[in-house]
Amino acid sequence: HIGMSIRDTGIGMTEAQLAQVFEEFGQADSSIARRFGGTGLGMPIVRRLVEMMGGTVALDTRLGQGTRVTIDLPVGRTDLPEIRIAPPDPGASTADLHGLRVLAADDNRTNRMILGAMMGQMGIAAVLAQDGTEALAAYEREAFDVVILDISMPDVDGVTVLREIRERESRRASASGPRASVPPLPILAFTANAMSHQVEAYLQAGFDDCLTKPLQLDRLQGALSKLIAERGRRSQPARGGVIPLRATLG
């Protein structure tokens, strides 16, 4: 057997709320959905997948203290080949991304590591910010070809950063005059909200494209290649590499 236990330090649930948590399209606290989004499908999907594998899922919760989810899966022994992430296909019809300067912001450290690793494989010079405030500071400090913004960052979320960048672009364009106008900076949404109406809402908000989690390497490569092919680069090619933003800001 394989056992997994995930614990949060959130608000926890009452016994009545716990009874609803496995119901499809139901949430223990509807105010959370209003504030942060969500369909109420998370735990029902977890239980369904676990039961399909012959396992069990259990919840232990205390109101005001958080929740622990425990999963138990029966497994047998097997010999599997080593799994590697395939590098980008050099024969694919994509723009040259080597030296591209990309600013990526996500408050989740693991997501930043994945983004950084993928962009590093493509020779992209990536600057990684851990929140919206850091992303805006980096935007002011240096030129980027593309920005990738996590939607659900605390304090300053991705949509707010997008709007602020567009406002600053507009002010600069007004001050410089029409002859000095620069095309808007391509900005991608990065989110786990992958339902069609959610993606459409992000595009309507002004994002140029939407990358959904879990992110696939070919999807990232394709989205960046499409934007660069359409709009060209805005900065001089840089040496590929990944820079956590705190290293640059001290």
- When pLDDT is averaged across residues 141-170 and rounded to a whole number, the result is 95
- Cα distances (Å, whole numbers) of residue 191 to 42, 105, 121, 157, 181: 15, 11, 22, 11, 31
State which of 20-24, 50-54, 199-203, 235-239 shows the largest mean pLDDT. Answer: 199-203
- When pLDDT is averaged across residues 68-76 and rounded to a whole number, the result is 87
118 with 8, same domain: the answer is no
Backbone φ and ψ for 87, nearest 5 degrees, come out as: -70, 165
CATH number of 196's domain:
3.40.50.2300
Q: In what order do the strands lie in the sheet containing 2-7? A: 2-7, 66-73, 56-62
Task: Please identify which residue in the block is written with the tokens 């410089």.
Answer: 176
CATH number of 62's domain:
3.30.565.10
* Percentage of the chain modeled with pLDDT above 70: 76
Structural domain containing residue 162: 101-249
- When pLDDT is averaged across residues 30-58 and rounded to a whole number, the result is 67
181 with 222, same domain: the answer is yes
Backbone φ and ψ for 110, nearest 5 degrees, come out as: -65, -45
Confidence of residue 33 (pLDDT cuts 50, 70, 90): very low
Whole-number Å distance between alpha carbons of 54 and 50: 7
In a domain, 170, yes or no: yes
CA contacts within 13 A on the Cβ side of 28? 20
141 with 237, same domain: the answer is yes
In a domain, 78, yes or no: no
In a domain, 79, yes or no: no
Q: Is the pLDDT of residue 83 over 50?
A: no
- When pLDDT is averaged across residues 153-177 and rounded to a whole number, the result is 91
Task: Please identify which residue in the block is written with the tokens 């496995």.
Answer: 22
In a domain, 166, yes or no: yes
Query: What's the pLDDT tens digit per position in 172-225?
Result: 888 877 655 678 899 999 999 989 999 999 999 999 999 999 899 999 999 999
DSSP string for 84-111: -PPPP-TTSS----TT-EEEEE-S-HHH
- Tell me the chain's radius of gyration from C-alpha atoms: 21
67 with 114, same domain: the answer is no
Q: What total number of domains does the chain contain?
A: 2
Lowest average pLDDT, out of 58-72, 87-101, 181-195, 211-225, goes to 87-101
- When pLDDT is averaged across residues 6-20 and rounded to a whole number, the result is 80
